[in-house]
């Protein structure tokens, strides 16, 4: 009887523990309690980040714009995409950008068991290190959803989870360059971290063009406001 009772308690408690960190998907929670996770760094800097690549259809266009504006960024790559396009991953590094980890596939990790989560993050980590020659330092899970297993894997691999302080909703079918630029700049403050997408792998087909069209205006306005644009590695995040 006692064993059965403990099993029932565990059946309720373990899923709750696994899901508890997902509360940080709420921007107000992490902004107030976890500024590093929110991506808040030095007030004279802005971290520029991209998710879901590398994608040969779209990522090279983002690289061209960043090169034209002499800006560097952090690219949170998917292991499955990097496996299929390793040369593009190496091109990111050669261009001076930082490669970070977005997971293996674009799965909500709340729906992935702890063992599967740890396995997928480890193989993605090892692939990034092998392809780029540098182990990744940062992790952003798909949809920004953290779980207990994700945090455990991050700790084991020496990864720091970082989400974002503003985004452009550039993955939607109705996004345009104007809506993305307006949304990003309306929410951006010095020290913020911008989330855009260099691929439509998990978005409406072709949605990446809205983010690409918004990028020059975002870069120009950041510089007009006196903010230095760069990757997370130079963003001055507070100690975790």
| Tally of helices (H runs) and strands (E runs) in the chain | 9, 8
DSSP secondary structure letters along 186-219: HH--TT-EEEEES--TTSSTTTHHHHHHHHHHHH
State the catalytic residue, choosing from 102, 106, 197, 235: 197
Is it true that the peptide bond before 54 is cis, omega within 30 degrees of 0? yes
Q: Within 10 Å of residue 158's Cβ, how many Cβ atoms?
A: 11
**Which residue of the set 51, 55, 170, 198 is catalytic?**
51
Number of Cβ within a 10 Å radius of residue 1: 5
74 sits in the region (left: phi over 0; alpha: psi -120 to 50; else beta) called: beta
CA distance 198 to 61: 9
Three-state DSSP at 228 gives strand
What angle do the packed helices 86-94 and 114-132 form, to 10 degrees? 60
Whether omega before 10 lies within 30 degrees of 0, making that bond cis, reads no
Cβ contact 44:226 at 8 Å:
yes
Q: Is 197 a catalytic residue?
A: yes
> Residue 235 in contact with residue 193, Cβ under 8 Å?
yes
> Active-site residue 51, yes or no?
yes
Task: Kindly list the catalytic residues.
Answer: 51, 197
């Amino acid at each position: 009887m006692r064993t059965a009772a403990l099993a029932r308690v565990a059946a309720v408690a373990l899923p709750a523990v696994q899901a508890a960190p997902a509360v940080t998907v709420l921007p107000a929670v992490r902004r107030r309690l976890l500024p590093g996770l929110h991506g808040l760094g030095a007030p004279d800097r802005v971290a520029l980040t991209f998710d879901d690549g590398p994608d040969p259809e779209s990522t090279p266009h983002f690289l061209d714009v960043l090169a034209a504006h002499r800006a560097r960024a952090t690219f949170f790559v998917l292991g499955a995409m990097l496996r299929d396009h390793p040369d593009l991953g190496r091109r990111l590094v050669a261009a001076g950008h930082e490669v970070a980890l977005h997971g293996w596939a674009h799965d909500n990790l709340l729906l992935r068991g702890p063992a599967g989560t740890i396995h997928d993050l480890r193989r993605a980590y090892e692939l990034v290190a092998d392809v780029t020659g540098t182990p990744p330092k940062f992790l952003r899970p798909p949809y920004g959803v953290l779980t207990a297993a994700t945090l455990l894997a991050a700790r084991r691999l020496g990864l720091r989870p970082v989400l974002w302080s503003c985004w452009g909703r550039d993955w939607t079918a109705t996004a345009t360059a104007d809506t993305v630029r307006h949304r990003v700049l309306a929410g951006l403050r010095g020290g913020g971290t911008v989330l855009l997408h260099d691929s439509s792998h998990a978005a409406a087909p072709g949605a990446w063009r809205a983010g690409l069209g918004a990028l020059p205006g975002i870069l120009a306005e950041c510089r007009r406001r006196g903010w230095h644009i760069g990757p997370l590695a130079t963003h001055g995040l507070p100690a975790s």
